[in-house]
Amino acid sequence: MKAMTNMRPAVFLDRDGTLMVERSDPASLGDPQQVALETRVIPALQQLQAAGYPLIVVTNQSGIGRGLYTVSDYERVTQRLADLLADHHITLTATYHCPHHPTHAHPPYRQVCQCRKPNPGLIEQGMAAHGISPDGSWMIGDRLTDMMAGQAVGIPGILLLTGNGSHDAPHWHRVAPTLWDAVTQWVLPRRV
Active site residue 73: no
Nearest CA-CA partner of 68 in 105, 38, 118, 37: 105
Phi, psi torsion values for 110, nearest 5 degrees: -80, 100
Q: Count CB atoms within 10 A of the CB of residue 13.
A: 26
Distance CA 156, CA 150 (A): 6
Phi, psi torsion values for 183, nearest 5 degrees: -70, -45
- Residue 65 identity (one-letter amino acid): G
* Residue of 14, 142, 168, 181 marked catalytic: 14
Nearest CA-CA partner of 13 in 39, 52, 48: 48
If 0-12 CB within 10 Å is exposed, 13-18 middle and 19+ buried, where does residue 125 land? middle
Phi, psi torsion values for 45, nearest 5 degrees: -65, -35
Active site residue 16: yes
Residues with a catalytic annotation lie at 14, 16
